């Protein structure tokens, strides 16, 4: 008998997570897309304790927009990853910038206090 645990369907989807894009329905104008992901988790690379955050994404699309379910699955894929606040926020920014090539992009990692210290990491492409 195998001791390998069968993954639930959501766990399988998270394992296969990849950001998907769609064509921007209004590429002729600037408009904001403001996304908030309030249940983000990853693991501290030093202690292994869980870190909790709100990940906020604000962007002005050019030719593409992000498909929201793929973004949700991509962000959930960090829940078992040992990664610093700074690294994870920059990694999310880099992946979105590469996939979307937006006119403007800002990613904020607003991490819950731990050990009486609160951290907010903001990465942006410059002036909006």
Active-site amino acid positions: 44, 51
Neighbours of 101 (CB within 10 A): 13
- Whether residue 125 contacts residue 95, with contact meaning beta carbons closer than 8 Å, is answered with no
Residue 108 β-bridge partners:
56, 122
Cα dihedral 125, 126, 127, 128, rounded to 10, equals 0
DSSP assignment of 32-60 equals -EEEEEEEEEEE-TTT--EEEEEEEEEEE
């Amino acid at each position: 008998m195998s001791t390998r645990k069968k993954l639930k369907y959501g766990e399988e989807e998270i394992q296969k997570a990849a950001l998907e894009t769609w064509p921007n329905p209004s590429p002729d104008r600037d408009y904001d897309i403001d996304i908030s992901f309030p249940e983000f988790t990853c693991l501290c690379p030093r202690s292994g304790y869980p870190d909790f955050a709100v990940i906020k994404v604000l962007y002005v699309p050019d030719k593409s927009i992000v498909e929201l379910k793929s973004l949700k699955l991509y962000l959930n894929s960090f829940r078992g990853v040992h990664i610093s606040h700074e690294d994870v926020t920059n990694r999310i920014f880099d992946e979105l910038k590469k996939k979307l090539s937006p006119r403007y992009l800002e990613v904020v990692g607003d991490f819950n206090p731990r050990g009486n210290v609160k951290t907010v990491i903001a990465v942006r492409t410059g002036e909006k």
